[in-house]
């Protein structure tokens, strides 16, 4: 279970505390505030706080005294223009803060985004919980044959069963040994009064990368879009993509016009190189361009044909 009962109560307490504010406020996101969106088997994403809305982007782009918005259609046009032409700085004027529970190997990819602020649960200071990511059966994929960085078919039968039991047993054993080295049980009682217990900062190194950790993670809207463009992408590893998907939900509730522009101009968009554009122009002029006379490498030709739906 991603959240314990005691934690759920703390969350509900927060949701009882309405206040009045003069700030830009987004009712659709207020509805989601503090609530965990479940991800993977035991993880979650919760929106903890936010600053600004679609209009705040417009306001900053215009450096205006009031809200900066005119007609909704004008604001939408400006937001789409900014997105299309990569005028990114006005999108930095909104901010969002998440609380995330995620496996350590996912956290290791995630932390590579350096423009965010992070506070992580400290395993030097505290003891980690016995919670490990175990993939669902439909995510137990074989190594891809043609992509060294991807997945192939789903494993079946004995092989799948064997993998699951290894993951479960090794996690359980390593955690039991972690507790033995710490000399503490689940309730924090000393196991053996004749032992001192290994320092937490050392004992944790026995834990597998599938263990769950938690952090507060905050970034601005521009950098969130950059994160999502990489992590909501089909090339991202499934286990981080599902977090990006949950954050996309929050994005749509928070800044619907920006989210729409983002999906049109970034997520679903494609990049044509100088050579690729040349090929498209020749094809539009009626020429039957081939890989050979395209001026592109074999690999780039294949990528272009994929994009154009011609492969």
Catalogue the active-site residues. Answer: 231
CA angle 247-251-254, nearest 5°? 135
Residue 7 or 72 having the CB closest to its own copies = 7
Smallest distance, its own copies to C-beta of residue 149, A: 5
Smallest distance, its own copies to C-beta of residue 142, A: 4
CB of 214 closer than 8 Å to CB of 122: no
Smallest distance, its own copies to C-beta of residue 261, A: 9
What tokens were used for 248? Answer: 């996309």
Residue 154 or 293 having the CB closest to its own copies = 154
Q: How far is CA 76 from each of CA 182, 249, 256, 265, 269, rounded to the nearest angstrom? A: 57, 19, 10, 13, 19
CB of 59 closer than 8 Å to CB of 67: yes
Smallest distance, its own copies to C-beta of residue 161, A: 12
CB of 38 closer than 8 Å to CB of 44: yes
Residue 186 or 194 having the CB closest to its own copies = 194
Residue 249 or 267 having the CB closest to its own copies = 267
Radius of gyration, alpha carbons of the chain:
24
Residue 89 or 185 having the CB closest to its own copies = 89
Smallest distance, its own copies to C-beta of residue 156, A: 9
Q: Decide: residue 72, CB within 10 A, 0-12 exposed, 13-18 middle, 19+ buried.
A: exposed
CA dist 223 and 251 (Å) reads 12
Task: Rounding to the nearest 10 degrees, give the CA dihedral for residues 147, 212, 259, 237.
Answer: 0
Question: What are 97's strand-pairing partners?
Answer: 49, 218
Task: Rounding to the nearest 10 degrees, give the CA dihedral for residues 81, 86, 90, 95.
Answer: 120
């Amino acid at each position: 279970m991603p959240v314990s009962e005691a934690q759920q109560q703390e969350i509900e307490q927060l949701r009882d505390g309405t206040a009045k504010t003069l700030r830009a406020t987004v009712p659709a996101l207020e509805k989601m505030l503090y609530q965990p969106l479940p991800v993977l088997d035991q993880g979650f994403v919760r929106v903890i706080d936010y600053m600004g809305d679609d209009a705040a982007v417009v306001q900053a782009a215009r450096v205006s005294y009031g809200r900066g918005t005119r007609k909704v259609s004008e604001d939408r046009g400006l937001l789409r223009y900014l997105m299309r032409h990569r005028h990114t700085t006005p999108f930095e004027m909104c901010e969002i803060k998440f609380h995330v529970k995620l496996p350590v190997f996912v956290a290791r990819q995630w932390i590579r985004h350096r423009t965010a602020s992070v506070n992580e649960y400290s395993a030097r200071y505290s003891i980690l919980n016995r919670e490990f990511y175990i993939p669902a059966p439909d995510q137990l994929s074989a190594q891809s044959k043609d992509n060294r960085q991807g997945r192939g078919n789903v494993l079946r039968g004995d092989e799948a069963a064997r993998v699951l039991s290894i993951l479960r047993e090794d996690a359980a054993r390593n955690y039991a040994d972690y507790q033995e080295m710490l000399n503490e049980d689940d309730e924090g009682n000393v196991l053996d009064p004749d032992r001192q217990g290994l320092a937490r900062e050392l004992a944790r190194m026995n834990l597998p990368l599938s263990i769950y950790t938690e952090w507060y993670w905050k970034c601005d809207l521009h950098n969130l879009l950059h994160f999502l463009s990489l992590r909501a992408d089909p090339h991202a590893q499934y286990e981080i993509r599902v977090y990006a998907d949950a954050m996309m939900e929050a994005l749509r509730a928070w800044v619907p016009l920006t989210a729409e522009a983002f999906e049109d101009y970034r997520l679903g968009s494609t990049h044509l190189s100088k050579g690729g554009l040349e090929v498209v122009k020749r094809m539009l002029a009626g020429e039957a361009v081939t890989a050979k006379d395209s001026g592109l490498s074999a690999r780039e030709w294949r990528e272009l044909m994929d994009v154009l739906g011609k492969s």
